[in-house]
Copies of this chain bind each other. A is one copy, B any other.
Amino acid sequence: MSKNLSVGSVTPQRAHFASPLLLKSGASLPAFDLVYETYGELNAARSNAVLVCHALSGSHHVAGVYGDDPKTLGWWDNLVGPGKPLDTNKFFVVGVNNLGGCHGSTGPLSTNPLTGRRYGADFPLVTVEDWVTAQARLADLLGIDAWAAVIGGSLGGMQALAWSIQFPERIRHALVIASAPKLSAQNIAFNEVARQAILSDPDFHAGHYAERGVVPVSGLRLARMIGHITYLSDDQMGEKFGRQLRHGERRFNYDVEFEVESYLRYQGDKFAGFFDANTYLMMTRALDYFDPAYDFDGSLDAALARARANFFVASFSTDWRFSPARSREIVEALLHNRRRVAYAEIDCAAGHDSFLLDDPHYHALLRAYLENIEA
């Protein structure tokens, strides 16, 4: 990656919203903060803004670095920057940490103004629709009447889809990548095991671990290990690790024997070191609940009837978490509504995580689509 293509050093900003936010669950937040970053310049017509929505473990830090530390590179830096497919010479790009997150926006680790203590488990359950509502408040603050585009992968793609339904006049293009119109029973099952790992960790303390100065490390670690298996394809895991033995021979014990075990433990440990368990629970529940058709007798067609945006939908051949079939459901419902939709099933070996990579065909398609957006 050429250094010239980077947005360079970036600084997060914080927006405070003082009026209450009514949530889908019926609960409400009296006030909240959102932490966000922006890249590029908002044009005079305020017509070139693109919102990047993050998935489970992402954040507002989409591109660039903090200071000049290359280790702090944003999670979608390969996509966002000057001359990159989501070109910051053309677009004003906004990344925001979702409500309930653990990267600075108001969430379970924040102080509950009613008690003066951390929310912990008392933080209300937030849904995809609530995130979109909160993001709309940020758009108001930034003076953005309508996004040129809202883009996201996985859970981020669900937010893009929800935007097109909740605020049809405020989004011109929705880019829904490696996503699904709702979770399958198997998807929910994986989430449930991850949650049970956290909930049954003795250090979870019914969600009030932070007050006690502990972290449910084991639970988070297991949750992430389970997740990771579903992010990679069977084939890619095979290519990456196969049955390679760590010590060249079998040792007949439960330490790391196979390289894939080492990888999983590493990913689990890393995640447990920075992610908040209550946020993890909430994010997976937001995934479970997401189902725009729910309020329309199960009809996705009916749910998307309100949408006015143009759509870019992409899926990856080896993604078994949200397979191409799930994206096709979205495309079909859009076509039934005579929406303009570009759809691609991309051959990429990396499974669900493909959406984060810079597969040349994938990025070329995104570039072509985004170049064609008037800003």
Q: How far is the CA of A24 from the CA of B254 in the complex (A)?
A: 16
Residues A265 and B186 in contact in the complex (CB < 8 Å), given A125-B252, A252-B125, A289-B250: no
A254 x B221 contact (CB < 8 A) = no
Q: How far is the CA of A182 from the CA of B238 in the complex (A)?
A: 12
What is the copy number of this chain in the assembly?
2
B196 x A257 contact (CB < 8 A) = no
A188 x B243 contact (CB < 8 A) = yes
B197 x A222 contact (CB < 8 A) = yes
Q: Which DSSP category, helix, strand, loop or mixed, fits chain A's interface?
A: helix
Residues of B within 8 A of A184 (CB): 234, 237-238, 243
The verdict on A70 contacting chain B, using a C-beta distance below 8 Å, is no
Q: How far is the CA of A321 from the CA of B302 in the complex (A)?
A: 37
- Most-contacted residue by chain B among A25, A124, A243, A250 (CB, 10 A): A243
Residues A185 and B258 in contact in the complex (CB < 8 Å), given A196-B221, A197-B222, A222-B222: yes
B243 x A221 contact (CB < 8 A) = no
Interface size on A, residues (CB 8 A): 54
Q: How far is the CA of A21 from the CA of B237 in the complex (A)?
A: 36
Tell which of B182, B185, B222, B268 touches A237, judged by Cβ atoms closer than 8 Å.
Answer: B185
Q: Which residue of B lies closest to A284 (CB)?
A: B254
The verdict on A364 contacting chain B, using a C-beta distance below 8 Å, is no
The verdict on A19 contacting chain B, using a C-beta distance below 8 Å, is no
Residues of B within 8 A of A264 (CB): 189, 192-193
B189 x A288 contact (CB < 8 A) = no
Q: How far is the CA of A229 from the CA of B261 in the complex (A)?
A: 19
- 8 A Cβ contacts from A72-122 to B: none
Residues of B within 8 A of A192 (CB): 225, 258, 260-261, 264-265
**Shortest 9 CB-CB contacts between residues of A and residues of B:** A25-B252, A185-B237, A200-B218, A185-B241, A186-B234, A125-B252, A185-B260, A192-B261, A193-B225
